[in-house]
Structures are given as C-alpha cells and as structure tokens.
C-alpha cells in the first residue's frame, strides 16, 4: 500500500439522480487507474460498487460504497451513493465524509429532482461541488443547452472546464480550458471564451490582467482554481462518457489537481462535551473522526466506516466512543474496496477506513482521544414516509426478529420500527415501498427472518362530546352465593389530551370502599377495549356517585362488571365519536405540479396551511387525516413522475366525519357482538 500524507488525500462522493451513470463512472475511474484488472459493469453484476445481491438483481445502487485509487501521488477515495431518492440517507452519510461532491447529470435527461436535491445537500454539507455531464455519447445529447440549463438552475458560478469534442456518436474526446484553451472546438468558441473569463475570476489579479489583454499562463490559472473550488466561488463542469472511457482520465486528473485536500478546507467543528463550547479539530490535533456508515452482518458482526478528521488512528489502539463514553479494541482495520477489505495498520487525518467488531459503534458516532473529547454533530436524515405492519411467520422468526430489526436499523438510519401503542402492531417505516421491500429482503437473506406484512391499522380512538349518566345492576343467582353489584355513574368529556380521570363520590356507605377499585378496574378495561368500535376511549372523566350492594352476594367481580356496563350505558348517551389522527405534511414538488397537488390534497380532506418556494421547487404545508395518505407515496410518484417527496409528523387527533365513522363502527360491530 503506497505511503501518503493528509495533503495527498482527495475524498469525493459521486451523487446525482438515478441513471446518471455514477456507478459506471466510479468503475471506469478504478479501471483507468489500474486499480482493477477489468472494468466493472452494473449490467453483468461485476461492478466494484454494486456488490450486494439486491443491487445486482435490480442493476441499481442501494448502498453507499467505497473504493480508493492511488494516482499521480494522490490517494483518491471514491464514494458511490445511490441515485434513487428512496435511499437518500446513504448520500447524506457520504457527503459528511468528503470534501468534494461530484454531481453527475445524464446528458440527455438533464437536471432532475435528485440532481437538485444533491446540489442542496452538498451545499448544506459545506463541500466543494463538481458537476459532471455524463453519457455524452448518447443520441440527443446537447452539451451547450444543458450547460445553459445548469447555469440557470444553479447559478453563474457553474463554469465548463472540460469541453467535449463532438457529442453522441461523434463524441471522441475532451479539451481542458485550463491547459489547452486554444484547442476548444470551433462550435463552442463563444462558450469557451465566456468560461475562460469566468475562470479568471478565481483571482482578482488574474481577471485584471486578463481584461487588460495580458497573457495569463495555464500555470497561473491552475494555481488559483483549487481555492475557488473549495470555497464554492466556482463550480467546474466536466464531461465524460464513462461507458466509452472518454473524459475519464481527464476527470481524474482534474480531481487530483484541483479537488480540495483535507488541508484545504476549514477544520471540522464540534462541541467539547465537558465545557459545552465549540472546538475545532484541525488535521494535526488529537485523534477525532466520525462513523458515516455501519453494516450489521451475521458473519462479520459489525463493520463501521470511519472518516478520520484529525490525528492518527492505529489498528491496535483503543477506540473511544464519545456517545457511550467507552473504549473498545478494534477487531481489525481495513481500507475498503467495494466488498473487499484490504488490511491496514494506521490511518492519517483525511483517511477513510473500516473497523470491525466494535459492537456499539453506530452511524454518526464520534470517535476521539479520550483525553481530548469532542462531539461532532450527528447526521440529519429525512423522516420516513411509508409504514407497514409486520408479524413473524413462525415461532423461530419471532425469536430472531427483535435483534435482527435492531441490527437493520443500526445499518440504515432511515429505517425504523416500533410497537404502535394504539394498535399493538409492530410497525416498520422506510423512505418508500421500495425501501421497505429491500429491508425485508435483507432481513430474510441476512438473518433468516421472514415476516407477514399488511397495512398498519389506524390508531383511532373513541371519545365523548356530552355529559351523560349510566347505571347497571348486576344480579345473578345460581345456587349458593349469588352475584350482586349496582353502580350509578356520570361521565363527561375532558380537554383533548388529558386522558382518563376517575372520581369516587360515593357517600353514606352505599358501596363499601373495598369494591371501588373493582369498579374503576372494570371501567379502565372497557376504556382500553373501546365501546363502539373497539378503539381505546380517551379524554373522559368518570364520577361514581351511587349504587348498592348485598352483604352476602356482592364481591369485586360483580362490581367490576357493573362498573363496565354502567360506563357503556353512559357512553352510548354521550354523543360518542371516533377520533382520527391528523398529521402535518410537507410536500416538495416542482412548481408545474402545484395545481395537481393542491387539488389532490383538498380531495383528501387536507387543509393547506402555507406554501414556500425553494428555487424551482415549491413546498406545500398542510394538515391531513392519516387515513387519507396511507397510499400517498404511490400517488405522489404517479403525479410527479418521481419528482416529488414528502415528510409527515404527528399533529393531533380530531373528530372523524359522521359518515366515515359509521363505516368504521359498522365494520367493528360484528366482531364486538360475537365477543359479547
């Protein structure tokens, strides 16, 4: 393994919309640098980056993958992120581990929803952005028109630095405006002149000399560019055909020369957990780093990908986890190369390595020197949108399910699971139906756990709208001691969210005190079970004020039953209603779909609260019943062609319209009657 220092490292992540050729470009870079003997292919399943069975089957990236090459004295760590919005969490993790995002754009499809999303996420992460127009060998590829679209969408700081010689079948090479501006194709001369002038703006002195007609040498221009790229003052536009190996060498040369090293960007900031103050960790400081990806696997147990921000990490030193406050020995340390892992003994600041068998190391965790503690900000992942209820298929699946679910959630921070307190169901959530499907496939393949899935039940509730009185006398004689208990009670609604209140107003010993807990128990059981539709009753106050007993026949069981029946009697008179969950939804779509989206929300009983613009995207905020958006992911994808996304958060419970409530009650009535 070659020796290198922090100044020699270049960390890049390939991001963009799906079908922009990111993975093929990554494989081409590895082959061009002779890191692989043959170029990997997504189509035949030989890609270095797409090595999981699900990726090979679908011929699409699902996971963030890492491989590195040594070129021109540079250690280039290449991260390949999925292009589907369903797996955006992988891209977010990758952006936190690099200095440069290479945003790939399909030369024919142009700027799409995830192109814009990755631009915004890269900007938020504070990394340099390079744009790569890929697949220029395709028919209908129009370089100049796409450059104009890029500059209109992302700003005038986007400037071509590599120009194509021909496009489509005629695409045969690229020309560098930095080193060979005089070789620009004649049909692109106007664009070349404008771009060259824009590149000169990297340095005030250069642009002044250029405008005065003085000659600016390629070396002078080259010296000014890295700082401008690192600061985002300029965003280079490159061009390639990764499949035909055109422009790949020039792209790699450009990255080696001009992409920022870990020394060229501001040091990572964190919080001193003891002093609660901000601290920085320049590369030369004590050890610090962050886990940006974790893999749970029955064979390797846990594999954690670590970006080292400062200091040196040795394979034989204890690893201090700031979150747990514990140190653990590393099982082994590797340089990742797709599914393969090359053993290494140490990592310098800027390095990306894997460590194995450190069980409590999760995505986002900070590692550091225990004598120089620091806490880096954890990652912000988008909320999951699609929920599915799951049940184990067999007893063996039940035994393994909980631990396996935890391991899957540790590997994928956008996957969650929890027991719904309202329905008792185990509910898993993911970014989309595809995401959930992948999770369940891996659950079966990796951990041999199979589940039965179905849409989750809505966590509806029952409530009352008026005060009422109830009464029941339980009297039963069947030889020997009988059963007797009589209860009078009142109930009334309480403010939303106050739950259940029980008041004992019995006087003059009408019911002995030892039976009052039984009455409350009977009422609580009924509240948990529901009265009109089998859903829990909420926000009700019950006052027991009278009743009667028998010296011989009364007992706790009789009063428990009497309390339950008296509550049901009062409940039926109290204008009972069904409460449904309302959620706050934020929908992000291109402006052209706004009419369709707002119309659809209105048809789903949504109430629009506001709208905002984010560039060419519109964000619609609304409140909407949960039952109306159980299938919303499919509907939004259909309406927007996959260009829309949304997030939901619980908001409150509200009364379900009478007609809908009647249907819910009718559906529940038969099973309840049979139970009686």
- pTM reported for the whole predicted model: 0.84
Residue-by-residue DSSP string for 504-521: E---TTSS-GGGHHHHHH
Residue closest to 518 by CA, chosen among 557, 480, 468: 557
Per-residue pLDDT reduced to its tens digit, 115-174: 988 999 999 999 999 999 999 999 999 999 999 999 999 999 999 999 999 999 999 999
Instruction: End-to-end CA distance of the chain: give it in Å, rounded.
Output: 75
Cα–Cα distance between 111 and 556 in angstroms, integer?
A: 72
Domain ranges of the chain: 6-258, 268-368, 386-454, 462-575, 578-659
Instruction: Output the CATH code of domain 6-258.
Output: 3.40.50.300
Are the C-beta atoms of 130 and 95 separated by less than 8 Å? no
d(CA 176, CA 10): 20
Q: Which fold has domain 386-454?
A: Alpha-Beta Plaits (3.30.70)
Q: Domain 578-659 has what CATH class?
A: alpha beta
- Using alpha carbons only, give the angle 416, 99, 6 rounded to the nearest 5 degrees: 120
Write down the pLDDT at residue 411.
87
One of 3.30.230.10, 3.40.50.300, 2.40.30.10, 1.20.140.10 is the CATH number of 268-368, namely 2.40.30.10
Of 85, 32, 97, residue with least CA distance to 61: 85
Long-range CB contacts for residues 412-418, cutoff 8 Å, separation at least 24 = 412/89, 412/439, 413/89, 413/93, 413/363, 413/364, 413/379, 413/381, 414/87, 414/88, 414/89, 414/381, 414/382, 414/384, 415/384, 415/439, 416/384, 417/390
Identify the sign of the CA torsion 395, 400, 402, 405.
Answer: negative
What pLDDT sits at residue 649? 84
Q: Which residues contact 51 (CB under 8 A, 6 or more apart)?
A: 65, 338, 339
Bridge-partner residues for 163, per DSSP?
A: 175
Cα dihedral value 409, 410, 411, 416, nearest 10: 20
- What does residue 117 show for φ and ψ, rounded to 5 degrees? -60, -45
DSSP label of 80? E
Q: What is the pLDDT of residue 562?
A: 96
pLDDT of residue 674: 46
The SS3 of residue 269 is strand
For residue 11, which of 73, 69, 87 has the smallest C-alpha distance? 69
| CATH code at 462-575 | 3.30.230.10
The residue ranges of the chain whose pLDDT is under 70 are: 1, 299-300, 479-480, 615, 670-676
Which residue in this structure is represented by tokens 């399943």?
Answer: 45
Tell me the pairing of strands 9-16 and 74-80.
parallel
Q: Do domains 268-368 and 578-659 have the same CATH topology?
A: no
| pLDDT of 671 | 52
Q: Which of 643, 553, 549, 541 is nearest to 593 (CA)?
A: 643
CA–CA dist 291, 286 (Å, integer)? 17
Beta bridge partners of 462: 537, 578
Q: How far apart are CA 366 and CA 272, in angstroms?
A: 12
The gap from C-alpha 645 to its chain's centroid, in whole angstroms, comes to 12
Asked whether 619 and 551 are in contact (CB, 8 A), the reply is: no
């Amino acid at each position: 393994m070659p020796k290198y220092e922090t100044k020699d490292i270049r960390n890049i992540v390939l991001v963009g919309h799906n079908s922009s050729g990111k993975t093929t470009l990554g494989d081409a870079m590895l082959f061009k640098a002779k890191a692989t003997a043959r170029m990997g292919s997504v189509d035949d399943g030989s890609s270095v980056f797409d090595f999981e069975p699900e990726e090979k089957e679908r011929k699409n990236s699902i996971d963030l993958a890492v491989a590195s090459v040594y070129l021109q004295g540079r250690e280039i760590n290449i991260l390949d992120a999925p292009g589907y919005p369903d797996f955006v969490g992988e891209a977010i993790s990758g952006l936190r581990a690099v200095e440069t995002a290479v945003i790939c754009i399909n030369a024919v499809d142009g700027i799409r929803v995830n192109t814009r999303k990755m631009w915004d996420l890269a900007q938020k992460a504070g990394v340099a952005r390079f744009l790569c127009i890929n697949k220029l060998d395709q028919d209908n590829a129009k370089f100049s028109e796409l450059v104009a679209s890029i500059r209109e969408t992302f700003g005038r700081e986007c400037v071509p630095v590599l120009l194509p010689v021909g496009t489509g079948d005629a695409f045969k090479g690229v020309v560098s405006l930095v080193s060979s501006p005089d070789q620009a194709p004649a049909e692109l001369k106007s664009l070349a002149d404008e771009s060259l002038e824009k590149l000169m703006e990297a340095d005030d002195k250069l642009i002044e000399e250029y405008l005065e007609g003085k000659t600016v040498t390629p070396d002078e221009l080259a010296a000014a560019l890295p700082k401008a790229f690192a600061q985002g003052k300029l965003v280079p536009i490159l061009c390639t055909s990764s499949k035909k190996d055109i422009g790949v060498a020039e792209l790699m040369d450009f990255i080696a020369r001009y992409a920022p090293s870990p020394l060229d960007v501001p040091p990572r900031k964190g919080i001193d957990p003891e002093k609660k103050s901000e601290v920085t960790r320049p590369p030369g400081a004590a050890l610090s780093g962050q886990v940006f990806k974790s893999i749970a696997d029955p064979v390797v147990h846990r594999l954690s990908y670590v970006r080292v921000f400062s200091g040196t990490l040795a394979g034989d030193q204890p690893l201090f986890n700031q979150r747990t406050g514990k140190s653990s020995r590393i099982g082994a340390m590797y340089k990742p190369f797709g599914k393969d892992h090359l053993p290494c003994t140490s990592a310098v600041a800027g390095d990306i390595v894997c460590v194995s068998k450190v069980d409590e190391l999760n995505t986002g965790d900070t590692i550091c020197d225990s004598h120089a503690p620091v806490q880096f900000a954890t990652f912000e992942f988008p909320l999951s949108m699609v929920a599915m209820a799951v049940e184990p298929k067999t007893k063996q699946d039940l035994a393994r399910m909980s631990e396996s679910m935890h391991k899957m959630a540790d590997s994928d921070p956008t996957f969650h699971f929890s027991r719904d307190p309202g329905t008792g169901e185990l509910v898993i959530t993911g970014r989309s139906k595809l995401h959930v499907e992948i999770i369940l496939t891996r659950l079966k393949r990796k951990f041999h756990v199979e589940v039965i899935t179905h849409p989750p039940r809505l966590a509806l509730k029952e409530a009352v709208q008026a005060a009422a009185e109830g009464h029941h006398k339980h009297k039963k004689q069947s030889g020997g001691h009988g059963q007797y208990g009589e209860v009078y009670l009142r109930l009334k609604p309480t403010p939303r969210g106050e739950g259940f209140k029980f008041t004992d107003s019995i006087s003059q010993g009408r019911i002995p005190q030892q039976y009052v807990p039984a009455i409350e128990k009977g009422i609580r059981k009924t509240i948990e079970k529901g009265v009109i539709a089998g859903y829990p009753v909420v926000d009700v106050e019950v006052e027991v004020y009278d009743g009667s007993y028998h010296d011989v026949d009364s007992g706790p069981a009789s009063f428990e039953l009497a309390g339950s029946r008296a509550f049901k009697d009062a409940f039926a008179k109290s204008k009972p209603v069904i409460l449904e969950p309302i959620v706050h939804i934020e929908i992000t779509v291109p402006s052209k779909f706004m009419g369709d989206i707002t119309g659809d929300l209105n048809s789903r009983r949504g109430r629009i609260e506001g709208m905002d613009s984010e560039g060419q995207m519109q964000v619609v905020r609304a409140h909407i019943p949960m039952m109306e958006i159980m299938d919303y992911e499919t509907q939004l994808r259909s309406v927007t062609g996959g260009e829309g996304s949304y997030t939901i958060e619980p908001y409150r419970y509200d009364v379900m319209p009478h007609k809908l409530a009647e249907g819910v009650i009718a559906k529940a009535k038969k099973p309840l009657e049979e139970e009686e």
